[in-house]
Amino acid sequence: MTTDMTTTEGPTTVFGATGKVGRALVDRLPSGEVRAVTRDPATARLPAGTQVVAGDLLDPASLPDTVRGARAAFLLWPAFDATGAAEAVAVLAAHVDRIVYLSAAVAEDGVWGEVEKAVRASGVEWTFLRAGGFAGNTLGWAEQIRADGVVREPYGQAGRSLVHEADLAAVAAIALTGDDLVGASPVLTGPETLTQIDQARHIGDAIGRPVRWEETSRETAQETMLAAGWDPAFVETALDAWAAMVDTPERVSPDVERITGRPARTFAEWARDHAADFRP
């Protein structure tokens, strides 16, 4: 567990501060040392005392005010491709000494690898948090579960080691405030591999109402995702990944416990923490 603390003064800029991980990180850092970035500060609803500023990583002109005077930045890239990432990272690097980037366990693929490359080239200290699947992504099932207790998706036997946003935030806080993770790329997962069917069952246990899995076709899922506004290339990538996890489940990494000193939270814990989101 990290104990060596940095002494550089200035707030920590948190991008994506109103998202699942960003909000958990804001809650974990002292409010007077956080500059939370959101597209619409008026609707942010962040803790009292938190400095909230408007900014958008896809709009480089908005970025200098988000990082001026800051010592470090937490970065979560908001797009399905890396267009503009090098320019945005260069603006951040002109002001901060460290960037902690929430990347992906499959960082060698696609947008995550491109953003990592830009951060490395920027010349600042960096840490890449290579996360597995987010437990919070199962909130996409909430409307179905509230309606009739059935999840209609493909690849129910896909094995995932989903990570709780609180664990991602805990590791991010350590990376931002201490020096032990500079230049590191920990892989952050939950403590166990569960099929998607098992995940639905755990949600049912948390809400006290059975949740049933109904297998659908890849084509049906594709249509639904495209209708919801997903990038077409990312839809194919996601479906291919879920299909592969049926035979080759996601691995479990010990890095959350190694870094934080406590076991990674289980999916069942996550489901209990978010039970209200799935109840009618």
pLDDT digits (tens, 9 = 90+) for 148-181: 999 999 999 999 999 999 999 999 999 999 999 9
Cβ 105 vs Cβ 132: under 8 Å: yes
Distance CA 151, CA 154 (A): 10
> According to the model, what pLDDT value does residue 3 have?
37
What 3-state class would DSSP assign to 40? coil
Cβ 138 vs Cβ 162: under 8 Å: yes
Residue 82 has pLDDT above 50, yes or no: yes
What 3-state class would DSSP assign to 188? strand
Q: Strand 150-153 relative to strand 125-131: parallel, antiparallel, unpaired?
A: unpaired
Cβ 150 vs Cβ 9: under 8 Å: no
Mean pLDDT on 28-41: 92
Distance CA 141, CA 164 (A): 16
Domain 12-132+165-189+252-263 has CATH 3.40.50.720: yes
Distance CA 8, CA 107 (A): 29
Residue 5 has pLDDT above 60, yes or no: no
Cβ 102 vs Cβ 172: under 8 Å: yes
Distance CA 243, CA 270 (A): 24
pLDDT tens digits, residue range 190-240?
Answer: 999 999 999 999 999 999 999 999 999 999 999 999 998 888 988 998 999
Least confidently predicted of 3-12, 22-31, 105-114: 3-12
Q: How confident is the model at residue 96 (pLDDT cuts 50, 70, 90)?
A: very high
> According to the model, what pLDDT value does residue 109 have?
72
- Which residue do the tokens 């550089």 mark? 8
Distance CA 195, CA 218 (A): 17
The angle formed by the CA atoms of residues 77, 232 and 40, to the nearest 5 degrees, is 40
> According to the model, what pLDDT value does residue 35 have?
97
> According to the model, what pLDDT value does residue 7 have?
38
> According to the model, what pLDDT value does residue 22 have?
97
Cβ 124 vs Cβ 99: under 8 Å: yes
CA torsion, ordered 135, 140, 142, 144, to nearest 10 deg: -140
> According to the model, what pLDDT value does residue 30 have?
87
CA torsion, ordered 123, 124, 127, 129, to nearest 10 deg: -80
Residue 6 has pLDDT above 50, yes or no: no
Mean pLDDT on 69-91: 96
* Residue 240 identity (one-letter amino acid): D
Distance CA 143, CA 279 (A): 9
> According to the model, what pLDDT value does residue 215 have?
97
Q: How confident is the model at residue 131 (pLDDT cuts 50, 70, 90)?
A: very high
Least confidently predicted of 44-48, 85-89, 244-248: 44-48
Cα dihedral across residues 184, 108, 24, 95: positive or negative: positive
> According to the model, what pLDDT value does residue 8 have?
55
Q: Using alpha carbons, list the distances in angstroms from residue 184 to 63, 76, 179.
A: 26, 17, 10
Distance CA 151, CA 3 (A): 43
Q: What does the domain layout of the chain look like in residue ranges?
A: 12-132+165-189+252-263
Q: How confident is the model at residue 106 (pLDDT cuts 50, 70, 90)?
A: confident
Cα dihedral across residues 184, 180, 26, 95: positive or negative: negative
Average pLDDT over all residues of the chain: 94
